[in-house]
Amino acid sequence: MSGECRFSVVIPFKDEEDRLPNTVKQVLEYFFLKGVTFEIILVDDGSVDQTVARVSEFLKDTRVRLLRHEVNKGKGAAIRTGVLDSRGEMVLFMDADMATPIEEFGKLLVAIRGGADIAIGSRAHKQSQVTKRQPAHRVVIGKIGNALIRLVLGLPFSDTQCGFKMFMRATAVDLFSDLKFLRWSFDYEVLYLARRHGYKIVEVPIVWHNMPGSKFHPVKDAVRCFCDLLSIKWRYIFKK
């Protein structure tokens, strides 16, 4: 794709053969109707199913690109790969299951145009519409996790983990270039780094619908995230 690009949409995925094709189709249609210049960057994080084959037809469109990790490195690593290869003035990353509809893009854009460097979708915002909630145990884990993130890192946000965030590209490149925690913990590392760098972050209410098939393990990954949280505290606060 040549010429100026206004928006980059980064979609990380692993084994999403049933959902990603429809997501790409909807994102293409949405931005086409908006009449803006854009690109979609699909980042395969070590898929072993037929996702790549299923989305190959979209690669005929020069606005769609595919980047690949031969082995699974983590969601944060996949988004970093996409961000660092992006060309847009602004970068959105979103989940392959489209739990947050692409139509919510406009809400984040308003925040960016209002002066924010980063706009983050928040399921916990009092004005958000959660049309289908997570299972009770996931809700409890999420609330405990958010409380720990606030306590340990001092982040004031009600939801750091929603997979729908927009950055000015220069901001995103600055932050993701320095990313050290490449799996589920990347969200709060990025936001912590952003606050250290003085970037303005706005939390935005969104529509969100829980989708089945989450790859987050409620015990193993939760423990890993807690360990990462302490490691981030050590790396950026204690070890100066």
Question: Each residue of 72-128: pLDDT tens digit?
Answer: 999 999 999 999 999 999 999 999 999 999 999 999 999 999 999 999 999 988 898
Using DSSP, state whether 54 is helix, strand or coil: helix
Q: Of all helices (H) and strands (E), which one includes residue 14?
A: none
pLDDT at 147: 86
CATH topology of domain 7-238: Spore Coat Polysaccharide Biosynthesis Protein SpsA; Chain A (3.90.550)
Query: How far is it, in rounded angstroms, from Cα 196 to Cα 84?
Result: 21
**What is the spatial distance between Cα 235 and Cα 46, in angstroms, rounded to a whole number?**
28
Domain segments of the chain: what residues?
7-238
Provide the pLDDT for residue 20: 97
Instruction: Enumerate residue ranges in the chain where pLDDT < 50.
Output: 1
Question: 87: which DSSP letter?
Answer: -
Q: Which sign, positive or negative, has the C-alpha torsion 55, 60, 65, 67?
A: positive
Give the CA distances from residue 55 to residues 16, 122, 164, 176, in Å, rounded to whole numbers and listed in that order. Answer: 10, 29, 21, 26
- 38 burial type by CB count under 10 A (0-12 exposed, 13-18 middle, 19+ buried): buried
What's the confidence (pLDDT) of residue 22? 96
* Pairing relationship of beta strands 129-132 and 64-69 according to DSSP bridges: unpaired
Q: Given this model, what pLDDT does residue 192 score?
A: 94
Say what angle helices 75-84 and 169-177 make with each other, to 10 degrees: 130
Closest-CA residue to 208 (of 119, 144, 121):
121
Q: Do β-strands 129-132 and 38-45 pair in parallel, antiparallel, or remain unpaired?
A: unpaired
Query: For 74, how many CA atoms within 13 A lie in the half-sphere containing its CB?
Result: 15
